[in-house]
Structure 1
Amino acid sequence: MPAVSRRSQSVPLSPFRKLIPLADRAKAAGKHIYHLNIGQPDILTHPLAVEKFRKLPWQILDYSPSNGIASYREALCGYYARFGVSVSADEIMVTTGGSEAILFFMLACLDPGDEIIIPEPFYANYNGYAHMAGVDVVPITCDIADGFSIPSVEAFAEKITPRTRAIVITNPNNPTGACYSQDELERLSGIVREHDLFLCVDEVYREFSYDSPLQSILQLPGLDAHAVVIDSVSKRYSATGARVGALVCRNLAVRESVDRYAKLRLSPPGLGQRLSEVMLEDDGQYLQGVKEDYRRRRDIVYERLQQMPGVFSYEPGGAFYCFARFPIADSEDFCRWLLEDFSHEGATVMLSPGPGFYATPGLGLDECRIAYVLNTDDLGKAMDCLEAALAVYPGSTLSGADAGSDVASSARR
């Protein structure tokens, strides 16, 4: 029998989906699962836009231009202008979700063997796309104790080599929920200009910054040749299935390189672009409501984690994720045990194990990512499950005295 490629056998597994077979078996056995493992919101896709979309006249679902429908790209210019970002339609490449934008960036801006520096923990699929592009990920470790803030300029300087070509961040961050300040972004800006690197910023959670306005990297001066922004409608409008993203860049050489790959894949999703354009027409009230909903969900998760003995948490500033440290030695085993061996009132909770978000071996063993994408009632029940599970988990690292302590192990950022 012909053998499959070595590349396919070594590509990193998704930490969001690797436990799906266990979850499927648990569901088949009648167990209810609260999914906090993946960023799939339960919020309705923009209802008014969906209604308008259903009435759009079309008879042939044709190819769109490889860089996206012109009217949609023009509409995106107006969207970015709300955030003080001035771009032209030509500086926007519409992609098949943010995922394709990430891959296009790596293929267009880096060669096999080049290095990218990424603060860890990071969005796990960066590892997979880097593997596909033959690019080496160089992690720079952030600390849960300070809410995963960006490391110092000196820490970055130690990681830069002749093969370094880019720094990649997500702001607000997935998986940590950290929001990077203007000072932190300016530090990164100085580094990439000094060393002539690209700065790729994944801004798909732009709307969900709860405590202070978010600064886009496209607002900083002097970065036109360096800045690449990744974007998507998936989380903004709870439209993950639309599969519409964007790569935004003022660097003409980058855009021309990306365009070569875009033409090879023909076109991004036509229906998704039409829906996305309609969603942009009147989204202010919708987005404000969604942001407030996620803020309430964040508060529930943060407050409940504070009450759990042995759990170390912080208050995430954005996105809809929290990375927490638990009194466990092996988060992979803990997440498996939750699905296979634990039940609380006929239900359990599904989390994402921490190691999949790190490139450094041995990190994240006592950490998990929580995606607070469920409504507040279900989220409360999920936290009940998690608290009950930690009290009986055979692999708990809590001593008897620790188990009786209060919330001293939790910290507000």
Structure 2
Amino acid sequence: MKKSYHTLKLWTIIAIFAFCSLYIAPLASQASSFDVEAESAILVDFETGEVLFAKEADISLPPASMTKMMTEYLVLEAINNGDITWETTTEISDYAYSISANNNFSGVGLRQNVDYTVKDLYDAMVIYSDNATTIALAELIAGSEGEFVKMMNAKAEELGLRDYEFVNSTGLNNGSLGDNYPEGTDPEGENLMSARDTAKLAYHLIKDYSEVLDVSSIPNKKFEGHSMDNWNWMLPEHDSQNFKQFSYEGLDGLKTGHTDLAGYTFTGTAERDGQRLISVVMRTNSIEKRFTETAKLLDYGFNNFQSATLIEAGHQIEDESTLPVAKGKEKAVQVEAGEDLQQIIKDGEEENYSVVYEFDEDVLNEDGTIEAPFEAGTEVGKVVLTYDGEEDFGHLIDGEEVSVPLVTSDGVEKSNWFVLMLQAVGDFFVDLFESIKGLFN
């Protein structure tokens, strides 16, 4: 009877294990194989710039109207610099008018010989992705779209974009512009950006000019009687029942895009509980898919990542936290993290992070000592976060690292002249002894 009981218990354990394996293992596999239906995609934490997910994020693809984010940046920069104001007016050129009159392009129906304010043109560009108002703004700022394209490429380099080419201000194919393609560009040229560069542009746009979100979050606005429905169907404020299925809590931008070559693209951004994420999907196969895949990306970020304090102020690396002191009343001083180190991390990944010290060579002597006197809290380097897990997608900003200051735990006073003299004499004889000993080795 006792033997039967143990046999039954063993088979029960085996059955439970097998049952758990069926349900737990697939979930773990699914979590590690997250994917989106887009040729290229990226997800970024705005606060830290950490890339949380990337799929073919460095290949250059046509961004379509996501190109307009660079135009938005330059318009906001011109306003911030005082070159133009929201009330500045301009008329519509023959080129911009021809684009507005073309039913193949999204437009509000601009008229000539009418003074339009920068504010009206900008709102139409951001909300309705209007191509003609985009061209009008480019011409106002640079004199011609060709000159504006030069500004776009120069700004891209300044912002650290790597895989890009701007050939016009709108994201249209140059071939569709006829003889109006911007001077100095390829008549058949295409704007190009990688998903990483698109996210980087969105990051700088929000970081430098957060007011862009005040307009990109507007679901509908009138323009001379023309109703402009925002092409971003994920805005929670959209009152159309057709868009309700795509509504996403906290989403307030940023830019859609579509051409035959680009497919359907979208740069989205949403904020929940103080955390903002930026997502990019490129070359999805339908207008709906760009929103469902964006929702999938954002859900993945909000549900699986959180900000964590990995080390606290005062943290020390065992056996590495003593720094020699020169000319001080103490021969050594302890060093420690000067502040808390926080990072956005994936759930369950805490143990894949560690820290290392990087000492500042400009603060230390050639022999690696710090010279007294100095106060407690003197910065001597930095505590740098390292990651040795499998999903390292890097940082959005080149060369950026997660670190906090490395500081001295205490202050050390300088020794008086007599003690320093004795130390110098002692050092002299130690060096002399070592030299003589070397002769007999």
Shorter-chain TM range is under 0.3
Structure with the greater relative contact order (CA < 8 A, sep ≥ 6): 1 or 2?
A: 1
Question: Normalized against structure 2, the TM-score is what?
Answer: 0.23
Judging by fraction of residues, say which structure has more strand: 2
Judging by fraction of residues, say which structure has more helix: 1
Question: Normalized against structure 1, the TM-score is what?
Answer: 0.24
Structure whose CA Rg is larger? 2
